Structure 1
């Protein structure tokens, strides 16, 4: 029971005790007063009637005596009058029934009034004429007592209702600081650190509110310090200090995770020998400033062309990872890069198109890190040998379909729901138990199996993401997969779905009307959270309000604050695959531990991804992560 209800009950208990006590005193006093009044009236009537009957009794006038008694008896205040003539023993009796209008019989049967009688002997001098016995009628007493009781009940009821409203209003106002404290404590328990509470006027509660504000502020500072620690460790371990670009370690991790995802794109390596001339002419400080300015210009110009990662991997070598884009986009990216570098070369006083070389390799199916690095390096060395600005690595693999053919095949597959599924289990770290299964889809076109890595880039390119997500969700629901499988099924949402309002409305309706909504979990890419936080927050509210769950995929990949975790409140985060491929150095462990601590501090489950072998998993044991997944347990066909 809440404190409000306890105080509420106590006040009304005391109110009822006081009121009932007063009502009881009033009731007994009224009863006593009415009894005394009836007794006094009976005495007066007996005396006066005895005096008035003397002449008739002396004359033996029976009719006169009856007439006189009838006049008094018909007033209704007497239940019985009995007159006994002492001369001949004749007895006359007058009686009224014990029925009282307006008073319920059960109330009369309670017998609040005792029978009141008055006997007297009528005399004339020394001669005794008759005996007179009068019994009072309790009707007057019961009537007045009932009227008093009903009036008291009505008044008590009115006062009770007024007291309820006043007490509720008063207690709500008095206990509002406690209610605010309870809400604030709940928010703190869920790691939500809002603004400080205003100090109440009640002096006893000021210290409590001050203590909660101090505790909330300290916890907020702890989370902020963890977030800052992550940022500092990223800068220290994954960022080149001169160019402020990611370093070789970060690029290698991104390459591994990129090749493990359904994407297209390319990798470029550039060698800028002209920076060595700048160093020789002006010194290392000018060289470093030139590198910083060059890096800023490249980020500014190239980010507009395609999503990419630009890294400084050696003193005069840079790598450019285009994470999503066809050859046409990559070609535009390349020419923009050449133009930007030439502008900076001219500013440094060197000759354009000289002393810098670029090698490009396009991503193909089933390519690993060693292969794409080898192809890119071969292209770079070929450009150096031929003294050309750039060289494309020639791949013998032909494009499977044109863009329009992909549009036709994908639209047809979405319309007819032709997708087939595999799923990959996510196991708890401490025991052999599956907590969810991540779903993957594939297609069969003209008898050939097409996996997601081949068609997903075109899904994003052709803005079919929300249609695909809707198709997949409906397919697993219609197939009864959620009925047969008790573990939650994780669905990767595309970037297009995150910002599509129509998809939000459809998903809200679907989850609201599906009985197994709690068995669906959604993976939201961290990059989508940074690119459109408002849409992601709206989508997360829809998912959470309908009983489903969601998590953040590729957690820790982006360079930015982790504050979004407090806003979105995901059930879990999946560490980016790159952390599984980082070396075992102390710095890498510190960064990974800091990320895990941020999530754990908000009571969010941490899932490690990209685990291929047991030694990899063993590296994460000191971090106390909750679960893991990867090709240590490869995807299986959905049964």
Structure 2
């Protein structure tokens, strides 16, 4: 996960944590405040109502009491207002009036009782006496002045548990009139504790139920006692309407959520701008790190202002500079070593490996010319009769003749090589037969001068053969040597030049043969050059094999693969050939469950062809499971011919999870300064670098430097064709990835 995403998540988490914490605290505080306010208001209302209803409470059935309670309840601030009787008080007149046996009120209750299941009935005689005394004290009146109203009896009903809230009660009593007549009778009264009540629903329509369920507001019921005289006769209860509190709380909830959403969006926009500005230097650092990984040692010019990131940028710049300095030093050492390895110490002529490379160049560019083999005659006898210095001077002068002899024709160029000892070679590029004859004639004239100088009559013989575009380098060297042998028979300082008619095969027959082999897949793919690990104990682990193709002519003779490829390239069949080879290798891996990697040689024409690359992309996509085992092999010389196209090919191959190896790696084709520009997985050194490496300090230094450089660039190095055990043991010291024998 990227740093920016982590920052967004962390900041968002902190934001929500702070918001929800504050939100919960705010809601709880508001809820507590609303509860307190509602309860206080309910208590104030109960007190106020109690004082208002006090003058009216002597008549508990008064309609005015219900009117006042309904008016207060209709304001909507209360869930319930309820007036309850404090004591069940029954008057004498109400009992007489309720009796069906009595037709007037001119009766007095003599005795009264109720069933015990209803409760207990007590006469309020003491209350009557106290009331009379209070009235006398207040008004100075006597019993006669108070009249009958003060003499009416009242009874207190103390209900049993089942009748605490009232009910239908039967009273049995005996009455007597002024004439002394008595009657036993009864009365049934419905007693209700609630005198008056007003109810209202709590919920407001715009407050959702989920909010009410989520937030619980508990409002206590408040009350106030109402007395009639000195004794409490009723209690007024007031319950606040929680819907009002819910409405206010819900409005605050919506406002807080809206504010939080707006604040979050604005905060994230500001954070996004800040993070992009903050991470911009990190992206530069990441780009620099990636560039260092692929060998591009840039530096960050604009240092970031953040102290920590600035220190990282400075450290990365320092690391990039130091690694570049190390690589430059290695490059200089390698250039020096390469020069020593590719040049003859005495004559400064290039060696045989350079000759073979230039021959490949001739094949690739389909150039014409001649190949010369030139040998100093009987150098051993000359060396016996002369000192080392004289012998070396003679060889130098001999080589100078080869280097300095030129044709006037500007199209014709010549280059000399020293193979070993007395054997030299030359490539005459764009030479015709006539040019070759003229060139050997000039050489003979110059060598005769050298012969006279050293009094050596027989000094040189020369053989030449035309460049055969359908042949191979060994075949042409053999043909040139055959011409040389004929020259030795002709006479002293003579030359023999073969012409085009000496070519063994006719091009038309070659064309038909190669077309038939490719179109009908009449070739085999073998797997050679087992590259194994060089780690102790893992020498038998195969890392990579090379796919090698072989084909036969009509006489069942093996066709030199170099000749076959040359003709396929000449007639533009090489791309089809490469496709068929790749298909065979893929089938081999799948059928045989191969676990190691296999390298496949590709021609320059194929990697430069967009149609071939498109086909390869599609083929690798269909074989994703084994794509990582395919390593496409290009010679160092071919890669160097068109660096941009090779880079494009390498990038496309890596997109498909396949790999790239450069084989026959030589620094004269790919400068070590430029190797970092190639997106390589492997390098396979040319065999000349490891042949007899145990006895050659220059080669050891070269391979060691290559190993160090490739390690810095994350490139794995193979040694090719290490035959001798001593050479293999020497190669192991340099920690190469693998080697083939």
Which TM-score bucket, shorter chain as reference?
0.7 to 0.9
Secondary structure of the 2:700 match is helix
Query: Is residue 146 from structure 1 mapped to residue 250 from structure 2 by the alignment?
Result: yes
Instruction: Judge conservation of contact 1:23–1:152 (CA < 8 Å) in 2.
Output: yes
Secondary structure of the 1:448 match is coil
* Aligned match for 1:136, one of 234, 240, 246: 240
Secondary structure of the 2:372 match is strand
**Alignment-derived partner of residue 637 in structure 1:** none
Once the two structures are superposed, what CA deviation does each residue of 1:540-565 show, in whole Å capped at 9, x if it has no partner?
01111101111001111635512342
Instruction: Judge conservation of contact 2:405–2:442 (CA < 8 Å) in 1.
Output: no
How far did 1:512 drift?
2.0
Instruction: Judge conservation of contact 2:51–2:226 (CA < 8 Å) in 1.
Output: yes
Instruction: Judge conservation of contact 2:371–2:426 (CA < 8 Å) in 1.
Output: yes
Query: Is residue 500 from structure 1 mapped to residue 609 from structure 2 by the alignment?
Result: yes
* Aligned match for 1:391, one of 497, 501, 506: 497
How far did 1:210 drift?
1.7
Instruction: Judge conservation of contact 1:543–1:550 (CA < 8 Å) in 2.
Output: yes
**Alignment-derived partner of residue 421 in structure 1:** 525
Instruction: Judge conservation of contact 2:527–2:546 (CA < 8 Å) in 1.
Output: yes
TM-score (norm 2): 0.69
Once the two structures are superposed, what CA deviation does each residue of 1:117-172 show, in whole Å capped at 9, x if it has no partner?
22113357757663211111211112221232233123223322332332233123
Give the Cα separation in 2 of the matches to 1:256 and 1:621: 32
- Higher radius of gyration, 1 or 2: 2
Instruction: Judge conservation of contact 2:640–2:669 (CA < 8 Å) in 1.
Output: no
Pick closer, same or farther for the CA change 1:449–1:94 going to 2, 3 Å.
farther
* Aligned match for 1:563, one of 670, 673, 682: 673
Question: How many pairs were matched up?
Answer: 596
**Alignment-derived partner of residue 329 in structure 2:** 225
- 1:72-87 aligned at under 5 Å gives the runs 72-85=72-85
**Alignment-derived partner of residue 164 in structure 1:** 268
Higher deviation after alignment, 63-72 or 126-135? 126-135
Give the Cα separation in 2 of the matches to 1:604 and 1:233: 21
- 1:264-303 aligned at under 5 Å gives the runs 267-270=371-374, 294=404, 301=411
Give the Cα separation in 2 of the matches to 1:10 and 1:178: 19
Instruction: Judge conservation of contact 1:256–1:581 (CA < 8 Å) in 2.
Output: no
Unaligned runs of 5+ in 2: 91-191, 378-392, 450-458
How far did 1:488 drift?
1.8
* Aligned match for 2:197, one of 51, 69, 93: 93
How far did 1:191 drift?
4.0
Secondary structure of the 1:236 match is helix
Secondary structure of the 1:116 match is coil
Give the Cα separation in 2 of the matches to 1:318 and 1:301: 23
How far did 1:474 drift?
2.4
Pick closer, same or farther for the CA change 1:372–1:70 going to 2, 3 Å.
same
**Alignment-derived partner of residue 436 in structure 1:** 544
Secondary structure of the 1:120 match is strand
Pick closer, same or farther for the CA change 1:433–1:80 going to 2, 3 Å.
same
Secondary structure of the 1:562 match is coil
How far did 1:508 drift?
1.7
Give the Cα separation in 2 of the matches to 1:615 and 1:563: 31
- 1:577-596 aligned at under 5 Å gives the runs 577-581=687-691, 584-596=695-707
Give the Cα separation in 1 of the matches to 2:2 and 2:322: 28
Over aligned residues, Cα RMSD in angstroms? 4.5
Pick closer, same or farther for the CA change 1:56–1:343 going to 2, 3 Å.
farther
Give the Cα separation in 1 of the matches to 2:669 and 2:491: 33
**Alignment-derived partner of residue 15 in structure 1:** 15
Instruction: Judge conservation of contact 2:463–2:481 (CA < 8 Å) in 1.
Output: no
How far did 1:477 drift?
3.3
Query: Is residue 525 from structure 1 mapped to residue 635 from structure 2 by the alignment?
Result: yes
Secondary structure of the 2:733 match is helix
**Alignment-derived partner of residue 280 in structure 2:** 176
Secondary structure of the 1:547 match is coil
Instruction: Judge conservation of contact 2:462–2:487 (CA < 8 Å) in 1.
Output: yes
Secondary structure of the 1:450 match is coil
How far did 1:317 drift?
8.2
TM-score (norm 1): 0.79
**Alignment-derived partner of residue 537 in structure 1:** 647
Give the Cα separation in 2 of the matches to 1:137 and 1:296: 118
Pick closer, same or farther for the CA change 1:254–1:618 going to 2, 3 Å.
farther
How far did 1:481 drift?
4.8
How far did 1:115 drift?
2.5
**Alignment-derived partner of residue 608 in structure 1:** 719
Give the Cα separation in 2 of the matches to 1:38 and 1:627: 88
**Alignment-derived partner of residue 425 in structure 2:** 319
Secondary structure of the 2:558 match is strand
Give the Cα separation in 1 of the matches to 2:475 and 2:690: 15
How far did 1:538 drift?
0.6
Instruction: Judge conservation of contact 1:233–1:591 (CA < 8 Å) in 2.
Output: yes
Higher deviation after alignment, 416-425 or 173-182? 173-182
